[in-house]
Structure 1
Amino acid sequence: MVIEKGNNPFDLFEVFQEAFPGEISSIFKVYLQFNHLKRVYRKGWLKSGISPQICESDADHSLGVAFLGLILAQKYAPSLNQAKLLKMAIIHELGETVVGDITPDEDYPTRKQEEFSVVQKILHDLPNSRELVGLYSEFENKSSPEGKFMKEIDSLEMVFQALIYEKEFNFDSIQFLESVQKKIMNPHLKTVFEQIKKIKKLES
């Protein structure tokens, strides 16, 4: 099964290394690696029959999480730090630039550790590296109000995408709704999810 649309960004950088001298080289290296999220498929959709031609990438998903988190935070959680929310959304899939998208049914016990190492490596040379790595950890560990909120937004965005695929391509979204039922704990986000359940007539 194809899981990527292009080359590993660490290998691809060698092509550009001599073209960008000094500081711009390190900036471009970080961007090149982040850019690779555009080339990593969301494998869960592929396994469910969505073709590579229409399958969303990690970058597509990250943008969706950022926008959904922003509008729902403004409505339901205005006290949260919105800058933190957006930063978390943008970088939360960064580890998959190397590890790839891993679905819950795959046995990969070291995935989180490997992804964290990739994030550290990619962000290492940035002036705000410590802040960004910290935000990545907050998201993964749900160790702050913003991290908890965005972790649930991450799941909710997948549900929204499943509904879109269902309407466009006769796709069955039930399994994706079922997979996140116990992950949505925020009362406001749970209300949103319950409305979706009513539409789908999904039993608890």
Structure 2
Amino acid sequence: MTNTAPSLVLPEISSARLTGLLEFLQSAEQLKDTLRSGTTANGRPESTAEHSWRLALMVVLFEPELKDIDLLKLLKLALVHDLGEAISGDVPAPLQTPGDNRQERERRDFLTLCEPLPADIAEELLSLWDEYAAAVTAEARIAKAFDKLETMLQHVLMPRQEASFYAFNLGYGVDRTDCSPLTRQIRDKVDGLTRALMEDAGRESA
């Protein structure tokens, strides 16, 4: 059976551009080994790359509800937002403090990661990173909300924790998830799952 599909016309790029893109991609692989404080459902430490993947998957799943949102930009924000952690690592939410310069450090590390890239790509990625950090645009606000919600959903899947762990989650990122009726609705559902686990944990420790 012959392949009748038309051939694709994708022109070659310069050797220098190709080298820069692949070098960045190889460096970004470090995110697979950047561990977060949470675990998978089986108790294995979760990587930041896995978190970013599932965040992007959330965007795809909720696409029909994301009216007037630039979906491609939202996906890019989801995939770019934690890339700086490939160098600086993840700081768990309970350990984050005002004035710890975490955002500045992650931006500096993100710039280091982007050094091999062609100038136009580096400029675009930095613009996306800054947009996410500022959390002013609709896409950045949704990305921030989904980021918190994905984390909370992962916490629900983790092996049983102490009641205090679930109590922390009930207050986690409320300012971000309160940005729209949709994210509030998702939050209510996740909070319900969290409360049930907290009650079970409380009964077991009593």
* 2:58 corresponding residue in structure 1: 68
The question of whether the paired residues in 1 share the 8 Å contact of 2:41 and 2:157 is answered with no
- Counting matched residue pairs gives 175
Q: Is the 8 A contact 2:156 2:194 kept in 1?
A: no
Gaps of 5+ in 2: 1-14, 199-206
Q: Is the 8 A contact 1:158 1:176 kept in 2?
A: no
Residue 90 (structure 2) pairs with residue 101 (structure 1) = yes
Q: Is the 8 A contact 1:66 1:89 kept in 2?
A: yes
Distance (whole Å) between structure 2 residues aligned to residue 84 and residue 113 of structure 1: 23
Shift of 1:194: 0.9
Out of 151, 171, 174, the position equivalent to 1:178 is 171
Q: Does 1:155 align with 2:144?
A: no
The CA deviation at 1:119 is 1.7
Check if 1:188 corresponds to 2:177: no
1:187 deviates by: 1.5
**Structural RMSD (CA):** 2.6
Q: CA deviation at 1:92?
A: 0.8
Secondary structure, counterpart of 1:170 in structure 2 = coil
Shift of 1:67: 0.8
TM norm structure 1? 0.75
Higher relative contact order (Cα pairs below 8 Å, separated by 6+ residues): 2
Q: Is the 8 A contact 1:66 1:90 kept in 2?
A: yes
- Determine whether 1:78 maps to 2:71: no
Structure 1: give runs of 5+ residues left out of the alignment: 1-20
- 1:139 is matched with 132
| Equivalent of residue 40 in structure 1, options 28, 34, 37 | 34
Percentage of pairs with the same residue: 19
Work out the CA distance in 2 between the residues paired with 1:25 and 1:66. 26
User: 2:45 maps to which residue?
Assistant: 55
Give the partner amino acid of 1:149: I
